[in-house]
Every structure is written in structure tokens, then in C-alpha cells.
Amino acid sequence: MKDKLTKSEEEWKQDLTPEQYNVTRLHGTEPAFSGQYYSHKGSGTYLCVCCANPLFQSEHKFDSGTGWPSFTKPVETESIGSVHDDSYGMRRTEVTCSTCDAHLGHVFDDGPLPTGQRYCINSAALRFKEESP
């Protein structure tokens, strides 16, 4: 496992766009169907926008119809963390980056087989690294 990355709020604000900061550091969300990776079809790896930790592979991405990029599983279980989230009157499981604690989105138990998981992730929390030919 990588060492934890910590920065001051000012450093995060300098390194991230306002939307990235709002989503990853303030636990915000982007509007449904608006993110750059919602319908993205490239082959490669989705990384944490804050620290470049590899999070999800394109081969595990699917169209959930929810308006956010959805994945069936992370690159490695250790790549992400989870926290119970009772905000907005709902019981959910928040997904975070294990390296920098960035808020990524939520995971639900209504995904396709074989995992049955739907990692519903904000595009603003991701950057994409294209697979080399």
C-alpha cells in the first residue's frame, strides 16, 4: 500500500479545479450526465485526480444509466476505502481514495454479475490514463 498523501486545504485548492476540489475534498457531486467520463469509452486506467492512485480499469466500466461513470470493481481492493454515509436521509457507502482520502462517489449492491457491485464515481474525481498500444 502507498503512503498516505496529505496536503493543506490551500495546497489542494491550488492543485485542483474548483469542481475537483468541491467533489474530492468537500464531498460534493457533479450533476448527473455531465461528467467528462460518463460516456467515455477509452481503454486504460482511471486514476485519482488528486494523487494518481490507480482506481478502476476501463474493462470494468459499464453503463448503469445513472448519469455517472460506473464500475464493477476497483483495480485492487486496497486502492479504495469506504465510509458509511447517512447524509441526505439515505444509508450509503462512500468510496474514497486509499492514498489521499479523496471523496470519489458511492458503491451500491445493484451492479451486474459477477461482483454485483456498482461503484458510482464522479468524473471530477478521476483522470484517465490511456492504455499503451
Please provide the distance, in angstroms rounded to a whole number, between the alpha carbons at the two ends of the chain.
Answer: 28
**Cell numbers 439515505 label which residue?**
90
* 124: helix, strand or coil: helix
Rounded to whole angstroms, the Cα distance separating 22 from 30 reads 9
From the list 48, 50, 100, 120, the catalytic residue is 120
120 is catalytic: yes
Alpha helices in 32-123 (DSSP H): none
- Tell me the catalytic residues: 120
